[in-house]
Each structure stands twice: as structure tokens, then as C-alpha cells.
Amino acid sequence: MKPGRPLKPGDVVLTKIQFVDTFEVKERPALVLFEEKDNVVVAGITSNLSMGGVPLAKKDGAIKDSIIKLNYIFTVSPALVSKVLFSLGLEKKREVANELKKKLEPLAR
């Protein structure tokens, strides 16, 4: 099922995810980083606040305080995205982009 509008960077979506250590598939929230050639690249979101990543608060639109896990980036088919939950504001999108740049900086050396 594809959402009613094209996915945009900064959309928080509900998508089916297959876990690497099992064959289990669960529906989880994820942040859309970009969509290209019918692939959606997302970062996982968890409500486990002890995980590292970018904080996502209720004031940002989350149902409960969560973490955007920039160490858990994967690709899903748009068909696995069931709906767009909300979109991040500009400041939160910039925060995510800056944290990703820090992680990718060693590639440029």
C-alpha cells in the first residue's frame, strides 16, 4: 500500500521492516531520508531512549519521545509504507542532516 502522496525527506512513516536476526516482519516508524528509483531510504525510529541517535520529541510530532537511529539505515519498497504519520520541521531535519554529515565525514578524507 502506497501513501496518498509522494514521500518526502523528513516524513515519518509507518513501514514494514524485516529484522536482520530473524524472519520476523514488524510495522515500525521510520524517517524518510530520500526516495529514488522506487526505493525509500529510511532511518529507524525507536522509543528506547537509551539508544544513540537524534532525539524525537512529542513537540516534533511523535506519539511519544523517541530516537531517530542514524546507525540503522535501510531501504524499503514504497509498497511497504502504510502511511505518513507526520513530517519533521526544518530545524529537526537540519539536525538529522548535520548528524549524518558527521558520520559520513571520514569518507571524505
pTM of the model: 0.90
Please give the DSSP secondary-structure letter assigned to residue 52. Answer: -
Question: Bigger pLDDT: 52 or 11?
Answer: 11
Q: How far is CA 67 from the centre of its chain?
A: 10
Please check whether residue 50 is in contact with residue 26, taking contact to mean a CB–CB distance below 8 angstroms. Answer: no
Does the pLDDT at position 2 exceed 60? no
Q: What confidence tens digit (pLDDT) does each residue in 14-71 have?
A: 999 877 677 788 899 999 999 999 899 999 999 999 998 999 999 999 999 999 999 9
Domains and CATH numbers, the chain: 11-108 (2.30.30.110)
Reported confidence tier of residue 5, pLDDT bands at 50, 70, 90: confident
Q: Which residue has the cell 513501514?
A: 15
> How confident is the model at residue 6, as a pLDDT?
85
Q: Do residues 92 and 67 make contact, with C-beta atoms less than 8 angstroms apart?
A: no
Residue 80: CA count within 13 A, CB half-sphere: 20
